[in-house]
Amino acid sequence: MRRSFLVLALYALAALAAAAGLFATEPDLARAWQGASAQHWLGTDQIGRDLLKQCLAGARVALLIGLLAGGTATLIGGALGLAAGWRGGATDRAIFALSALVSAVPGLLLVLVLGFLLGGGAAGVFLAVGLASWVGTCRLVRAETLRLKSAPFVEAARAGGAGGAQIALRHLLPNLAPLLGVQCALAFVFAVKAEIVLTFLGVGLGDSASWGRMLADAWGFADLTEGRWMRVVAVSAATAGLVLAVQGIADRLRDRAAPGAGVSAPIC
């Protein structure tokens, strides 16, 4: 887990440096499509920008979208799952019907549709991913809430005169925290990959530093023999490193979760 946190910290440092403008590069057509060199370790793109700096700057976009979309999906899924499991009855049936409707559409297809309807951009991307990936969290939180409803500490809280909302927020929610942490990490991973797909297809961000935009630019050139393949390799390696680091953290959080609290991918 320490290695995963170390890798994640390096991505965070790259994101902070990108936000401070340390990786900004000016176009220079005279050095377009240069191969790897001591000055440009991964070469340059079609307008002479350093590919390594662009790839490092892409960490800012990936972390931003991952955190916002993962947090949105976890918040929605956690709130609905807690309400369904605790209230039951008509509330449970309505939330189950809504989750069944959302899960009936393939995850990435739903993200594409929502991204198009929301108009793209950072806000559109993270809302699209968040609104499309809460179902798995909702179902797991509902199941765990049903298990905890009959726990002795809940009965003791009832006997002490605590109301339903107080029990749910002060007693159930802390016990759901490990499960929510795992699901947030999984939603983060899905959001990072979904943003790349959306931007690659032209629905997401127009930011040139986005890894999806870098792939889209590379795809626009059929001949990859003059160093252009380095863009694909760099983006793939950067994405894999971030995803593996977050998944490693999710695995350790899952191991520490309360017995009986399962995990699943955020998209069903």
Determine the pLDDT at residue 263: 45
Measure CA of the first residue to CA of the last residue in the chain; give whole Å: 27
Determine the pLDDT at residue 43: 76
Radius of gyration of the CA atoms of the chain, in A: 22
Report the amino acid identity of residue 144: E
Q: What domains can you pick out in the chain, each with its CATH number?
A: 2-16+41-256 (1.10.3720.10)
Q: Is the pLDDT of residue 1 over 60?
A: yes
Exposure of 264 in the CB half-sphere (CA atoms within 13 A): 15
Q: Is the pLDDT of residue 158 over 60?
A: yes
**Residue owning tokens 């369904």:** 84
Of 135-139, 144-148, 223-227, 241-245, which gets the smallest average pLDDT?
223-227
Distance CA 76, CA 114 (A): 16
Mean pLDDT, to the nearest integer, of 236-256? 90
Q: Is the pLDDT of residue 266 over 70?
A: no
Q: What is the dihedral of CA 119, 137, 96, 191, to 10 degrees?
A: 20
Written as six digits, the tokens of 10 are: 């390096």
**Residue owning tokens 């198009």:** 116
- The pTM of the full predicted model, rounded to 2 decimals, is 0.86
Determine the pLDDT at residue 226: 52
Determine the pLDDT at residue 46: 73
Per residue, the 3-state secondary structure of 152-219, as one string, reads HHHHHHHHCCCCHHHHHHHHHHHHHHHHHHHHHHHHHHHHHHHHHHHHHCCCCCCCCCCHHHHHHHHH
Distance CA 173, CA 212 (A): 36
Q: Give me the helices (H) in the chain, please.
A: 2-19, 51-87, 89-103, 107-117, 121-132, 135-148, 152-159, 164-167, 173-200, 211-219, 229-256
Q: 33 by DSSP, 3-state: which?
A: coil
Tens digit of each residue's pLDDT (9 = 90 or more) over 101-155: 999 988 888 888 888 888 777 788 888 889 999 999 999 999 999 999 888 988 8
Residue count of the chain: 268
Q: Is the pLDDT of residue 260 over 70?
A: no
Tens digit of each residue's pLDDT (9 = 90 or more) over 171-217: 899 899 989 999 999 999 999 998 898 888 888 776 667 898 888 87
